[in-house]
Amino acid sequence: MMKTEQLTYIGSFSVDSGQAMVGDPCYLDSWEPWNSEVDNFDEHTTKAGEYGYLGACGVTLKEGYGVLGNGSAVAFTTGYGDGYYPVYAEFNEDGRIVKVVIQFEGDDE
């Protein structure tokens, strides 16, 4: 059970592939998107860790998480698959975000 008293809700995001990713948006120009007309999903095993959709699938299906593109992002499973997940932040005394928490499981409080 997650305690959210010291956390501030900052938004939610949708998941349709059972995985999520954290990374700097400035690197998105080098992201390799999924192209269903060209890509074969079975290639995810050989592309694990590459900075793209198949690379993310490769690491999350193998270990549940992993680094993409030599540090451009970290991908991970959402635990329970698709959904709409809340994101919380902890702020320090200067008002800067020092922790981000994504809640993939409901709070039973």
Is the predicted pLDDT of residue 4 greater than 80, yes or no? no
Q: Is 101 within 8 Å of 87 (Cβ atoms)?
A: yes
Q: Is 47 within 8 Å of 65 (Cβ atoms)?
A: no
pLDDT in tens, 7-22: 999 999 999 999 999 9
CA distances from 95 to 86, 87, 92, 100 (A): 20, 17, 5, 14
pLDDT in tens, 33-82: 999 898 999 999 999 999 999 999 999 999 999 999 999 999 999 988 99
Helices (H), the chain: 53-62
Q: Is 17 within 8 Å of 30 (Cβ atoms)?
A: no
pTM of the model: 0.86
